[in-house]
Structure 1
Amino acid sequence: MKPGLRGPRRIVCLTEETTEWLYLLGQEERIVGISGYTVRPRRARAEKPRVSAFLDGKIERIVALEPDLVIGFSDMQAALADKLIRAGLNVLVTNQRTLAEILDTLRLVAALVGAADPAEAWIAACQARHRAIAQAAAAWPRRPRVYFEEWDEPMISAIAWVSELIGLAGGDDVFPELAVQRMGRDRVIADALEPVRRAPDLVVGSWCGKKFRPERVAARPGWAGVPAVRDGRLHEIKSCDILQPGPAALTDGLEQLHRLFAAWAGAARSPGPA
């Protein structure tokens, strides 16, 4: 550990986005434990012990690591955070849901480790790319209507930051009224035919860690006439790329959405067969 290092020196990250962010900031030496679901960056799995799932963790092992800070995400980790607090640890749990809240959280974590300047540089570059993507999409004659499915049984639509990313990438979320709901249970689509009525041009699935099955979506009763199904535009973006409220969603998740929408827009502009 570098002498004179400011802030917490031994951090356990209960979710992937904090691990990825600390690596991007060059602060990975502070990390002493990570989530078992971490895949970004790839080398973290080889370098750091995996001490938690999402809803629970190895409390005794985490305590043994002697962290001076444990960082988690969302109300769903409340029970895990409670156990760690009762074990005498310092715990920070954030609950970001929007793009603005994600950026605020990145700044908060960066400030804790004395890395505000590189954080601001990264955020500025990221926002510049966002503006370029939005400008490119503004040239399309029409924006695609997009149904983003976070889970299949029950069907859960896009969380707020994903809905905002859809907009930045050049599309329109077909369930904007659900995106403002902070809890997954409040984004459940009770009527399986409601997405059909909203006629999405694309369906994007990211089933929280399990493989998206487009053929199952296409086979749902009454879905054959949906433009996305009719045109074969059912796509997967892996949850690690878009459902983590951190750097991945702001970069790879957005880029993948934009590529899908740009391909759709290009096909929509192409003249039909003579």
Structure 2
Amino acid sequence: MKHYIRWCIPTLLMVAFSGSAAVYPVCPPPPVPGVFVDDLGRTVDIEEVPQRIVSLAPSNTEILFALGLGNKVVGVTEFCNYPETALDIEKVGGWLPFDLERVVALEPDLVLAAALHERKGIPALERVDITVFALVPKTLNEVLSNITLVGEITGKSEKAIRLVTDLEDRIRAITEKTMTLTDEQRPRVLYIVWHDPLLVAGSGTFADDLINKAGGKNIAYDLTQWAGIDLETVIARNPQLIIAPHRAAGVKDKLRLGLGVTDAFRENRVYLVEEDLFDRPGPRLVDALEELTKFIHPELFGE
């Protein structure tokens, strides 16, 4: 997706090397103010570098802090708990509904929203003339694009480029090992979002993307987004690994009641993970990829 309107002007760089000069086309970051397109396809005019930012999603908050913008974040949700300093920032309610009056009172010049704000939250903010930009990544690559984009909007392009480059290097260190695996070498994986009723990650989710990059096969490949699935189907597809969040006490024992016959339970390959790490499309999603790959292919890491 083309996220912004950029004017690329070749710049002459004189390089003193062996007595020769070289010409390189240099594309500087787009100036702020500028016109950008968010993940909902909305054209957003950023009139100046934002100084007061409200985040309406934990993943957005993590991106802002990773770019060194914590001092400009004036409002976050009750669920924004990383990094720890985010806990001290003014709360504007939950994801949805958020407290519109609190947001307005903070006088933000930018609000970073998410997909669930499309129908009601964003229109409400627009009616009071607040600039809103939505981030809705569905894959790891789209998360990286979002980091770059937020950097451009906030005047932190160089920081964003360094961060994304580091994350790309870490991703590449994994995919170079997993991309050549045959179908038979890719274990069957089930990523559970909730256990009662059983809700799993299907295609079009960043969890599905992580499974593929980590060298696994998502047994919920034919489901879309976060979807329900019956026990009979899971048992028939027989996952070799099950990934589930720590959200509920005794979740592993509860899953065993219905899925104890699967290879994942028989081979003791059921892993409970920190949901904030795996469920938030921010920079730490690469940490989740590294952890997931070690679960699926410990042999690739000498474990």
- TM-score bracket for this pair, using the shorter chain length: 0.7 to 0.9
Moved more, 75-84 or 124-133: 75-84
The aligned counterpart of 1:230 is 266
Shift of 1:138: 6.1
The aligned counterpart of 2:109 is 68
Give the distance between the partners of 1:29 and 1:244, measured in 2 at CA.
Answer: 22
Q: How many residues align?
A: 253
Shift of 1:101: 2.3
Which of 188, 201, 211 is the equivalent residue of 1:166? 211
Which amino acid in the other structure matches residue 85 of structure 1? E
* 1:68-122: CA deviation from partner (whole Å, max 9, x where unpaired): 1111111356323333333332222232212232222222211110112221221
The aligned counterpart of 1:259 is 294
The aligned counterpart of 1:143 is 186
Give the distance between the partners of 1:81 and 1:211, measured in 2 at CA.
Answer: 35
The aligned counterpart of 1:120 is 161
Percent identical residues:
27
Give the distance between the partners of 2:292 and 2:166, measured in 1 at CA.
Answer: 19
Distance 1:168 1:211, change over 3 A: farther
Higher Rg of the two aligned structures: 2
Q: Is the 8 A contact 2:178 2:215 kept in 1?
A: yes
Q: Is the 8 A contact 2:207 2:278 kept in 1?
A: yes
Shift of 1:210: 4.8
The aligned counterpart of 1:205 is 244
Which amino acid in the other structure matches residue 235 of structure 1? Y
Q: Is the 8 A contact 1:56 1:77 kept in 2?
A: no
Which of 168, 171, 174 is the equivalent residue of 1:130? 171
Give the match's secondary structure for 1:170.
Answer: coil
1:153 equivalent in alignment to 2:192: no
Give the distance between the partners of 2:52 and 2:179, measured in 1 at CA.
Answer: 45
Give the distance between the partners of 2:144 and 2:197, measured in 1 at CA.
Answer: 30
Which amino acid in the other structure matches residue 80 of structure 1? G
The aligned counterpart of 2:27 is none
Give the match's secondary structure for 2:213.
Answer: helix
Q: Where do 5+ consecutive residues of structure 2 fail to align?
A: 1-31, 34-47
TM-score (norm 2): 0.75
RMSD, aligned α-carbons: 2.6
Distance 1:211 1:113, change over 3 A: farther
* 1:246-270: CA deviation from partner (whole Å, max 9, x where unpaired): 1121x2211221221234x58xx99
Distance 1:55 1:111, change over 3 A: same
Which amino acid in the other structure matches residue 196 of structure 1? I
Which amino acid in the other structure matches residue 228 of structure 2? V
Give the match's secondary structure for 2:120.
Answer: helix
1:193 equivalent in alignment to 2:228: no
